[in-house]
Structure 1
Amino acid sequence: MPMQKAIKLYFSPIIFTILVVFWSLWNTFKRSIKVIAPLPPGPAGLPIVGYLPFLGTELHKKFAELAVDYGPIYKIRLGTKLCVVISSPTLVKEVVRDHDSIFANRDAPIAALVVSYGGNDIVFSPSGPDWRKMRKIFVREMLSNTNISESYGTRREEVNKSIKYVYDKRGIPINVGELTSAIAMNTMMSMVWGETFKGDEKLTNSGEKFRKLIAEQMVFLAKPNISDFFPLLAIFDLQRIKKKTKENFLWLERIVDSVIEKRMSMGLINREGVGKIEQKKDLLQILLEIREHESSSASITMTQLKAILLDIVVAGTDTTATMSDWVMASLMKHPEAMRRVHEELTEIVGLDNSVEESHLPKLHYLDAVIKETFRLHPALPHLIPRCPKQSSIIGGYTIPKGTQIFLNMWSIHRDPMIWENPLEFQPERFLKDPGTFDYSGNNYQYLPFGSGRRICAGLPLAEKMLTYVLASLLHSFDWNLPPGTELELSDRFGIVLKKNKSLVAIPTPRLSDLELYS
């Protein structure tokens, strides 16, 4: 017994120590195991093709329907591509603010790679040093408050030319989308490289060709492409989208090349890096000087230079024309809103004056009309899809690296949990608390221009240009439908959400001083 007791006393501490060690190791092991969050829920689809056969042509509406069944975040397989659709402001905030650096990349479709020189522009370039450099140059040289103010003369000249053009066509039906596209196109071209299509040429001949090329490019960017969903088939270009996009883009590129060659042949840059032209430089001149004389780290390639120019002209033209079309149609659909806009313009501007940009901050109701139109008909219904550079967690779900992320702002902008009477056109909702909803990207319930580091780079100019064009057209004319026609507000899905049929309306002069039209 004494021996047994001695053994027991000897081994008890050892056993206790072993148990403590094992217990500690087990807890350490449990803590080291990472709980892998599941993928978001979503429709099953079919083998190989996934959900492709069920999408239809109205992707924004299909995504909204699926959100009802699967919640504010769900996955959807399109061929070999995994996509995640987000329809909640809270989850959008996680993507564009909390994890902005991770989700700042693009998953550019093949057509976009063609028109962006392989993802070498501001819109489709992956987040990185080159993208930051191009964006910084664009913002610094074109979008500072000083530069926007100094370029007002250009905008004023082009708008006044267009008012005269419309006056000469008074009483005749005018395609509003084509008109505003021409205004935006000439304004952007003048600001960017100092040349425009002169006179009626901007609505015919060369100007019309250029405008159509831009419109066709947006169609190719939006067209579903088998090559994007099944990359192994990309070499065959089965739908010929890549081929057609290249042909279209070459026309646009030739125009830009000719402008650049003309400028360089004039010898406007000397060896010391000082431009020989003393008047205010346009963006092309500035970019050429940066390319020639900045250090290698701050310089840009000729490809990047052309990409920046095309980004500005194409995006600025198409977005301004699209939203002008929507705003004008919405006002004609709601006569009381049109009456209030005219009353405000008469009070602030007067019928014996032209609209100036200095009037714009005082046009509160027109601003509310534009914001309400962006809510119901956002130019970019899913913004530009993002792509995480590494796997991440959003809303408690795993989002694998390389997933295409759709932020469904079309659905959020019509969410009855956020908006009272969400399907009704009520500009007054933006007058109640003007500071709550703006274009800054800080309110995730309302993001017509995006948010975070990928927010629309041209936002300051786009907002001012759109408001100025609309105020001028609405101030100078009454607009009515041609006899026997009906106004419709159906949309056509694409990377830019357009009216199914562009608005055609008859202008009638409303200013008392006819010299304002000359």
Structure 2
Amino acid sequence: MTTGSEASSEVEIVALDADCNDPKIERSQLLSIHPFPPGPKPLPYIGNIITMLRNKPTFRWIHKMMDDMNTKILCLRLGNVHVIAVSDPKIAREFLKDKDGIFASRPDCMSGNLTSGGYQTTVLAPMGDHWKMMRKTLAMKILSVDKHKWLQEKRDVEADNLIRYIYNQCHVDSTVTGGVVNVRTVVQQYSSNVIRKIVFGSRYFGKGSTDGGPGEEEIEHVDSLLTVLSYLYAFSVTDYFPWLRWITDFDGHEMIIRKAIRTARKYQDRLVDERIREWKDGVKTKEDDLLDVFINLENPRLTVDQIKAQIFELMLATFDNPSNGIEWAMAEMINQPMIFEKSIQELDSVVGKDRLVQESDIPKLNYIKSCVREAFRLHPVAPFNLPHVSIEDATVAGYFIPKGSHVILSRTGLGRNPEIWDDPLTFNPDRHMNGDKEVVLTDHNLHMLSFSTGRRGCGGVLLGSTMAVMLLARIVQGFVWELPPGEPCVDLKENLQDLMKAKPLLALAKPRLPHHLYPMC
């Protein structure tokens, strides 16, 4: 392993103040002024693919190289694609804010193409007229503040069902004494319920469970969504050598992701077809949820395939970040009872014990939001953000970034950066408290990456933030949480293959509010 890629090992770094984005400057001139970012020396044609295949999971290999080389920006060459990893907020801001127009596209790859139904969606679509149209449509007609308010009642219903579901786990021998609860199931159920409710108007695809929990259909649906997310932009060899797809599914990714997409969409697509028939036959005449809104859009008028693809992307983009973050927050808080006590004190002060916390309380729940924000910082949902693709040659932080490069920001590198955060591996919500200033979950300075920013910024920030805060607030307000009998502490180990908690969080829950506040079946 060398300390620079093929260009940076040969090019002498000279004056860095030239206007290197000047179209009159040829690439050879650009390279004579600016090197590639540091990285391992690539082989001809195949680049670093062999080394990548020998070092799975890829994201841990990339982070280890950045640590070993003591660099905040790393360049890999996979086939003819330069993959640029970044863990410094200043460099990240240059990519996503200062030069956002150059780096606002997406890769054309197997997983992105399949997941988006051939780029008929918004988040995964490369830059172009379709992306611009869909981004505007989502912002103004689907994920707007007005639509958020319109759908509040549906979110409230699922917040109540969350409490009912946990409360039902506390019944032992016809009494309410406490029960061991699988927190992962609870948070994933709530998050997926909310998005199903606001899109389809229904909690369940099938009959569900009488205790308010998921049924077989919901479990299979969530598992398939998680599988798709695991293989989306997962450094598949065929993404860098597309011609291989005509010969073989080299690493097996395509078969897995195709199966997961079919499984998820078999539940969703039939509901879209049924609803379209209802509107056509005059059975439906009033819009009740987002599916109705999608069907009745006029400008632009979406095709059936576009509606199905966009709803699938909306499902993927919504449920995993809140559920992962709150499971981690609960694990950390159970291990630190003082943090739990402070969050309870805030809820009792702002809300009291005579009613359940509501969305209208969120602006005053700064410590609860700090707990969520700290979970997003320390335990992000994925190692990297979705890749940004450069549409032209550029220079960033004094380095040459060629056209077509895939730029990935390290969520762990930013959120656990010791130059930004004191004691970065400790869960400490107080670090986000700033007097009376309201705490928000976004960070446009990119000291952490909870929701992306810039042209490719997350359109669902309001929905995602509301879901995450309400999820934690309801869980903490409604129940006393303790370690199961015989457990000394919560194990905080991560999965090897991703950043989820290695083992689902199991905790003993006991109701802490008056009996009449818990929604009944």
Classify 1:404/1:205 alpha carbon distance in 2 versus 1 (closer, same or farther; 3 Å).
same
Kept in 2: contact 1:381–1:409 (CA 8 A):
yes
Structure 1 residue 239 corresponds to structure 2 residue 247: no
Q: 2-side partners of 1:124 and 1:482: how far apart? A: 42
Classify 1:359/1:177 alpha carbon distance in 2 versus 1 (closer, same or farther; 3 Å).
same
Aligned match of 1:200 in 201, 209, 214? 209
C-alpha offsets along residues 356-378 of structure 1, whole Å, 9 cap, x if unaligned?
A: 11111111111111111111112
2:11 aligns to what? none
1:285 aligns to what? 292
Structure 1 residue 313 corresponds to structure 2 residue 315: yes
Classify 1:218/1:264 alpha carbon distance in 2 versus 1 (closer, same or farther; 3 Å).
same
Question: Is the partner of 1:380 in helix, strand or coil?
Answer: coil
Task: Return the offset for 1:312.
Answer: 1.6
Kept in 2: contact 1:237–1:243 (CA 8 A):
yes
1:323 aligns to what? 325
Task: Return the offset for 1:179.
Answer: 1.3
Q: 1-side partners of 2:411 and 2:436: how far apart? A: 20
Q: Give matches, 1:162-241, under 5 Å.
A: 162-170=162-170, 171-197=178-204, 198-200=207-209, 202-221=213-232, 223-235=234-246, 236-241=248-253
Structure having the higher Rg: 1
Q: 2-side partners of 1:168 and 1:82: how far apart? A: 52
> Which structure 2 segments of 5+ residues have no match?
1-23, 171-177
One-letter amino acid matched to 1:87: S
Q: How many residues align?
A: 478
C-alpha offsets along residues 282-317 of structure 1, whole Å, 9 cap, x if unaligned?
A: 211121122xx44xxx33232221122112222212
2:138 aligns to what? 138
Higher helix share: 1
1:118 aligns to what? 118
Q: 1-side partners of 2:133 and 2:39: how far apart? A: 38
Question: Is the partner of 2:209 in helix, strand or coil?
Answer: helix
Structure 1 residue 491 corresponds to structure 2 residue 494: yes
Q: 1-side partners of 2:239 and 2:483: how far apart? A: 41
Please, what is the CA RMSD of the aligned residues? 2.6
Aligned match of 2:344 in 322, 342, 345? 342
1:257 aligns to what? 269
Identity of counterpart residues, as a percentage? 27
Classify 1:517/1:286 alpha carbon distance in 2 versus 1 (closer, same or farther; 3 Å).
closer
C-alpha offsets along residues 128-183 of structure 1, whole Å, 9 cap, x if unaligned?
A: 22112112222222322222122111111112122112111113322212211111
Kept in 2: contact 1:67–1:73 (CA 8 A):
no
Kept in 2: contact 1:441–1:455 (CA 8 A):
no
Q: Give matches, 1:345-384, under 5 Å.
A: 345-384=347-386
Question: Is the partner of 1:492 in helix, strand or coil?
Answer: coil
1:24 aligns to what? none
C-alpha offsets along residues 345-404 of structure 1, whole Å, 9 cap, x if unaligned?
A: 112111221111111111111111111111111223321111101111111111111111
Q: 2-side partners of 1:375 and 1:428: how far apart? A: 13
2:129 aligns to what? 129
Output the TM-score relative to the length of structure 1.
0.85
Task: Return the offset for 1:455.
Answer: 1.0
One-letter amino acid matched to 1:200: S
Task: Return the offset for 1:339.
Answer: 1.0
Kept in 1: contact 2:96–2:454 (CA 8 A):
yes
One-letter amino acid matched to 2:457: I
Task: Return the offset for 1:228.
Answer: 2.4
Show structure 1 runs of 4+ deviating over 6 A: 30-33
C-alpha offsets along residues 398-446 of structure 1, whole Å, 9 cap, x if unaligned?
A: 1111111111231122222111222221111111367697444521323
Q: 2-side partners of 1:433 and 1:421: how far apart? A: 21
Aligned match of 2:36 in 27, 35, 39? 39
Q: 1-side partners of 2:309 and 2:435: how far apart? A: 39
Q: Give matches, 1:43-122, under 5 Å.
A: 43-44=40-41, 48=46, 49=49, 51-53=51-53, 55-57=55-57, 59-60=59-60, 62-63=62-63, 65-67=65-67, 69-122=69-122
